[in-house]
Amino acid sequence: MTDTGNTTKASLNKFEKFKAEKDGLAIKAEIEKFAALGWEAMDETDRDHRLKWVGVFFRPVTPGKFMMRLRMPNGILTSDQMRVLAEVLQRYGDEGSADITTRQNIQLRGIRIEDLPDIFNKFHAVGLTSVQSGMDNVRNITGDPVAGLDADELFDTRDLVQQIQDMLTNKGEGNPEFSNLPRKFNIAITGGRDNSVHAEINDLAFVPAFKEATFGFNILVGGFFSAKRCDAAIPLNAWVAPEDVVAVCRAVLEVFRDNGSRANRLKSRLMWLLDEWGIDKFRAEVEQRLGKSFLPAAPKDEIDWEKRDHIGVYKQKQPGLNYVGFHVPVGRLYAEGMFEIARLAEVYGSGEIRLTVEQNIIIPNISDSSLGTFLAEPLLERFSINPGVLERSLVSCTGAQFCNFALIETKNRAIATVKALEEDLTFTQPVRIHWTGCPNSCGQPQVADIGLMGTKARKDGKAVEGVDIYMGGKVGKDAHLGTCAIKGIPCEDLQPVLQDLLIKHFGAKLKQEALVEV
């Protein structure tokens, strides 16, 4: 591997310089030392940047209380793993919380550096890893949340996602081959018909497609969001059989690692390399690493359904079993709720718990006979299987409570806004609202019917918290990105603007009017 890709040493950005001095993974061996030193005495580059290679994020908003980002391949965890995460949080009392992320993953908050050795031991004992989950690494790999349960699926993505993660992370121990990419990298695989993973917004995505009668995947590349630019993934014009997917991931990452720009960090994602080379040269380079040529893409893929949200009760392909999806408002969890989720998964299911990119939870393998008792559990009053129309598909990034990039508070505001809208309106169709605190777009406003992106707005001559409004995002079949439709609405004036949009574009009605019509 060349350590600088196509960039000269002199033009390396500051992140490349500190990575060249010491690889992020090197800090794995220093965790005990950091724990003894305490966060205030640590080297700042280790604390603020390199710790992210083991999934530990310094939070300038809550100094001394770190965030930990796990890896949850295909969004699946066991009740034992959930219980360990809850135990970690429990020691922090009110200061500990967790979030289900927009990549089917979990982040913990409130973590103290002195507890890290113990936390890593606990993770190890139950097969959890947080390695390479931040900075210039491959993020959590997403797959169908109902893989292996859905009678209509074309391919069960679970094993492939796990194999890719094992390859990238050396089975969770850390893999220096892929710990120094030019920038972050997202991978998604879908084997269902509804594009449950937002394939189009990943740097590398595999979507189901038959070549003659043989099952495989068409490959998409270069999808990404950033503050500077957002693009949907484009076809690589390549088809791959399932058994070659891991090798293709490796080959694509090697090409990106060795050739992606390491000069301007704002232009380092894969799409910029595709721009520079063109898709044909990129494909040829990947083929060379792979040691064979791709077959051209199948003429059509099998994504022909609208996207499902999996909230509610659904029959599994296994006779007599059901999966139940419940809504976790903006993905926020606390220790006590997590213990309860683990208990329910064990008592009523097989101990398995699944996460969705909409920040919700699915418990599978609940028998027909125990379904009634399960649905009467008090937790389902808080995490509903039948939430309000807007609440149901509400997604929000972290926002100002914990993220120092945020221009606005998001999660609490998101909940309060939909509550007020649901009080005033009746709905005839679902409307997906996504909040994101800044242009980095972690809350994916471009995939929403209505996306709200934090910005600074002006009101009465003063700078106030505001949003730019995105419209037109389409998910599932024929997915495409929404674009900015209205700029700079002060958050305090947002309610009537949203009400208006819901009435004009999504068939909502004021409750008063609906009453008159009846």
Residues that bind ligand SF4 (CB under 6 A): 397-399, 403, 405-406, 436-438, 440-443
Residue with tokens 């994602």: 269
Q: Can 442 be counted among the known catalytic residues?
A: yes
Would you say 318 or 440 has its CB closer to ligand SF4? Answer: 440
- How far apart are alpha carbons 179 and 131 in whole angstroms? 10
Would you say 295 or 484 has its CB closer to ligand SRM? Answer: 484
CB under 5 to 8 A by kind: which of ligand SRM, ligand SF4, none does 399 bind? ligand SF4
Q: Which of 397, 438, 442, 491 is catalytic?
A: 442
- How far apart are alpha carbons 312 and 317 in whole angstroms? 16
Q: Can 484 be counted among the known catalytic residues?
A: no
Q: Which of 277, 278, 259 is nearest to 268 (CA)?
A: 259
Q: Which of 287, 278, 220, 293 is nearest to 250 (CA)?
A: 287
Q: Smallest distance, Å, CB 409 to ligand SF4?
A: 10
- Footprint on residues 97-156 left by ligand SRM (CB under 6 A): 99, 101-103, 105, 107, 139-140
Residue 401 as a binder of ligand SRM (CB under 6 A): the answer is: no
Task: Tell me how many degrees the CA angle 449-188-304 measures, rounded to the nearest 5.
Answer: 55
Q: Is 120 helix (H, G, I), strand (E, B) or coil?
A: helix
- How far apart are alpha carbons 415 and 394 in whole angstroms? 8
Q: Which of 247, 254, 186 is nearest to 220 (CA)?
A: 186
Q: Are 235 and 220 contacting, i.e. CB atoms less than 8 angstroms apart?
A: yes
Phi-psi label, residue 299: left if phi above 0, alpha if psi -120 to 50, beta otherwise: alpha
HEC-encoded secondary structure of 252-274: HHHHHHHHCCCCCHHHCCHHHHH
Exactly one of 25, 27, 56, 67 binds ligand SRM (CB under 6 A); that residue is: 67
Would you say 4 or 102 has its CB closer to ligand SRM? Answer: 102
Q: Which of 110, 172, 437, 482 is catalytic?
A: 437
Q: Is 224 helix (H, G, I), strand (E, B) or coil?
A: strand
Q: Can 437 be counted among the known catalytic residues?
A: yes
Q: Can 91 be counted among the known catalytic residues?
A: no
Q: Smallest distance, Å, CB 508 to ligand SRM?
A: 26
Largest separation between any pair of C-alpha atoms in the chain: 72
Q: Which of 183, 262, 308, 392 is catalytic?
A: 183
Q: Can 184 be counted among the known catalytic residues?
A: yes
- How far apart are alpha carbons 131 and 139 in whole angstroms? 10
Q: Smallest distance, Å, CB 223 to ligand SRM?
A: 7
Would you say 167 or 442 has its CB closer to ligand SF4? Answer: 442
Q: Which of 122, 184, 211, 477 is catalytic?
A: 184
- Return the range that interacts with ligand SRM (CB under 6 A); candidates 156-164, 225-233, 334-342, 385-393: 225-233
Q: Smallest distance, Å, CB 159 to ligand SF4?
A: 31
- How far apart are alpha carbons 367 and 348 in whole angstroms? 7
Exactly one of 53, 57, 383, 470 binds ligand SRM (CB under 6 A); that residue is: 57
Residues involved in catalysis: 69, 183-184, 437, 442-443
User: Which residue ranges make up the site for ligand SRM (CB under 6 A)?
Assistant: 57, 59, 67, 69, 99, 101-103, 105, 107, 139-140, 183-184, 186, 201, 224-227, 269, 397-398, 402-405, 440-442, 444
